[in-house]
Structure 1
């Protein structure tokens, strides 16, 4: 039986008295599954991503990536797991301005001690092979997000975390980027979580989960999500 890419078990997180963000949250994510997490502002969507990424620690519960509980690892082992198993796509791109595109994409390969050759192939996959020696300042927002997707996928991580990846893009470019992210995630077998406020973005996901009252709720459709939010 294939292990889930991600398991969150009874996650709890609070910020001071009376401000519970997560209250016993459970969910499982399988390989090649692309989910969207929606919810009102301030409910903890980005906090959940930060917990999964190991940028913050839960007050209770555990997170397993590829069957390994992150909280039970040493700091060094946890860092290595994040570096090998996770890929990140941010709203603000976070490309390094002094590096060429191919150098930006190659960063995860270098950090993992891998050959940098796949960086060229990933740039080709996102339609930027002929721009690999350009610097980020020469690119549009949509092109920068393509670089960010290539960088997130180049080392074939088990899990992609995308935090509002199209928030800075126009609708047409956002549509193209989301199609690319979905296609490349499926092609590499990675699991992906996308936090978004956009119904159009969520429509690209295999399923939509709504974060409310400290836990995740399955939304059979975006219409169901909107109906629940209106109550």
Structure 2
């Protein structure tokens, strides 16, 4: 589903990622850990086509992302990827239904699926509410619903529970895992939390030497 092929990225003469290669199959939930500055966020940006490698290729669902122009990369992100962020990025002036419906509208899909997705994440009947009426955990549920509603092939999560208390974080990760498994998407979560990583199928540690398998949890 996702292939990294000898991906190298250098900043100010320093190789952040050096000839990184790995295959991530569909249906697998992977956590990536590592020290600050090792390149975890850079890796997510390269996968999403928000940045380009100095050499090598990022291939998503058969499409070489790093070879796409800006417009084509935007279309690929819109149709084939879903994003869950630490800071939620739920739009405050839109209702929950409108927030979740955004990927559907951008892809010309039936916006009615937004309400069904809210029901699946435990927010049924609240489509008319606004983000200001929600707790942090509820806003992250909206973010998960928005990331998954258009059935992306790849889900990218950047510290998705960093702003949540441990109990809420555990529930959010269980929900994220269940929805990813139900949709058959590949998912990559960058996290500093060992508790979060334990929810993944596999955990890798990113170092200057590449990705090292830390554990197989499930």
What interval of TM-score do these two structures reach, taking the shorter chain for normalisation?
A: over 0.9
Tell me if structure 1 keeps the 8 A contact 2:197–2:203: yes
Tell me if structure 2 keeps the 8 A contact 1:178–1:204: yes
- Residue by residue over 1:7-29, the C-alpha shift from the partner in whole angstroms, topping out at 9 and shown as x without a partner, is 11000011112x21100101111
Partner of 1:197: 192
Between the aligned partners of 1:72 and 1:177, the Cα distance in structure 2 is 35
Partner of 1:228: none
Deviates more, 1:92-101 or 1:64-73: 64-73
Partner of 2:19: 24
Tell me if structure 1 keeps the 8 A contact 2:201–2:216: no
> Structure 2: where are the runs of 5+ without partners?
none
Measure how far apart 1:68 and its partner are. Answer: 1.2
Between the aligned partners of 2:10 and 2:151, the Cα distance in structure 1 is 33
Partner of 2:214: 219
The SS at the match of 2:51 is coil
Tell me if structure 2 keeps the 8 A contact 1:43–1:214: no
Which residue of 144, 169, 180 maps to 2:139? 144
Partner of 1:9: 5
Measure how far apart 1:31 and its partner are. Answer: 1.0
Measure how far apart 1:221 and its partner are. Answer: 5.5
The SS at the match of 1:130 is coil
Between the aligned partners of 1:46 and 1:70, the Cα distance in structure 2 is 17
User: Could you tell me the TM-score, scaled by structure 1's length?
Assistant: 0.91
Between the aligned partners of 2:79 and 2:25, the Cα distance in structure 1 is 17
Between the aligned partners of 1:40 and 1:221, the Cα distance in structure 2 is 20
User: Could you tell me the TM-score, scaled by structure 2's length?
Assistant: 0.97
The SS at the match of 1:183 is helix
Tell me if structure 1 keeps the 8 A contact 2:27–2:185: yes
Measure how far apart 1:70 and its partner are. Answer: 1.4
Between the aligned partners of 2:138 and 2:26, the Cα distance in structure 1 is 27
Q: Report how many aligned residue pairs link the two structures.
A: 217
- Residue by residue over 1:109-128, the C-alpha shift from the partner in whole angstroms, topping out at 9 and shown as x without a partner, is 01111110111111000000
Partner of 2:77: 82
Measure how far apart 1:71 and its partner are. Answer: 2.5
Alignment of 1:1-231 (within 5 A): 5-17=1-13, 19-220=14-215
Tell me if structure 2 keeps the 8 A contact 1:162–1:192: yes
The SS at the match of 2:199 is coil
Between the aligned partners of 1:214 and 1:65, the Cα distance in structure 2 is 23
Measure how far apart 1:37 and its partner are. Answer: 0.0
Measure how far apart 1:220 and its partner are. Answer: 2.9
